[in-house]
Structure 1
């Protein structure tokens, strides 16, 4: 299936049905009074997160989604029927933005989460609605209210705990294959990965985290070189970035330090907050380096790169060093989850202090 992470759609909610001005007309019943019913509500448009979807391709071709109008009211006290709502199923992680205002309407972060994105119009009032002791023969009625119409931009950002960052052919796809059940395409040429891949890493029976592999970056990606840097959006929700570096490039003239610095520069150009995320250095393809040269080459790389953060030496192909890496990642992700506790809006600090004072 083709991976699509951006789409623009039009959503139109249904108009409310018009109210009816009618009077009861039956034999032997003079002055039967008003009996015009209200109009029905127009259909609304909802968006819901679906775990079974991982692309917005359905909205690349079906761009207009329109709900039905409510039925008009009728005589004999008959109210118009409300129109059915329509539900648009989208991948979890989709951001819905109003194109005209630029405001974010919703972020679908939970599976099954249902959010109204266009409200249907209310039905109009029939003359039955206006009757009173002083207005016994009302002829007023109102039309239905119009439904909302919006032009929306859909942007998918995958939900992952860890993101893999690096040059093409750095071994990111091999690494995600080695540590998870994901099976992305792997080949010996650049830009094998053309769209993000997600894999679940099982550390223990009830301990796991999600890792995302995105297409490789090269210098000048911000200006459109390679596949560009638009795929970096899929790393914005991660808690940790793994900068995968190829220590044994095919071309001996390629300097891994220069390539690593170019990646970091592109990251900073794209988003400063993404640049500030915790980032670990993963030196890959050590199986291609003679055993007696490994320590020297790693030490030289770290010294020239001026790196002071965590460093992991692995071979994704032979899975050497992968187990310590995934255990360290899980510990970091679990610690982040424990520290990130949503405040309880029912209690403020003042109320808490007052409560403590009252207890004392």
Structure 2
């Protein structure tokens, strides 16, 4: 049927009409929105003037219920989209982004109670900073909390979603009981970004999303322990079969130089780009219930200043995954951005990239 009209629909049996509407709803929107979508279709059918096509009506109802219409000529059916590596996360986030009681994960959320570093720089921790110099433990608890929430959706002709996000990564000297088990370092990263869903072939990979954003990262300290920087970044997320990658270049927003010792408004770490570089690459490979990950960050001007992180997650139950993380290089934390660290950690993953 190419066109819908009120006269034509009056000839349909009621049961046949309801079955048709249920079939359409089941294959176009998540179940959480099915009732609203049905109501939209019914209203459209009742008010149709004979020129409204079925495709146009479905697109209008998708937009009205907060979903993005998939172009008819993009060559991807819903069945095929479900086979994409990132499809489950995309569909879950779309289904809950208008729910005020739901906050979506941003970066991975994890708790690593077994975390051991081969070297921790003690030079920062003199008498003015808790008298911990020489008294830090190589064994710590490391954890990360990362969340995001949508601010606006479809802001550029129905495309582009604006998000705000926050990531907290902490290194807790929980086993250093003799020194009151302090938090050695906590890094805070609020950010805002625009993300655009895509389906483009790039060198044989499927470009699923492109994001542009601004990020502030700091450790919230003052004096000699203060560290922080601001960045503008882009992020390109690609996939193919069980492989995915993220290419994230950034540019540091310049800060004014310190005019005198203790200048609170001056740059606490003017050489941070020398160690953190101008971007990072994430790679992932999914093998059934097991995920392998690799992060690479390198300063192109110096082969010796960079970092690598290896990740392995495996199932524990339906809610949690086991997680093993290995980091080697510069910039694991802001306080040690210019010190090379080698760390092995194990614990649980609450939410992964996928």
TM-score range with shorter-chain normalisation?
A: under 0.3
TM-score, reference length from structure 1: 0.25
TM-score, reference length from structure 2: 0.26
| Structure whose residues are more often helix by fraction | 1
Higher relative contact order (CA 8 A, sep 6+): 1
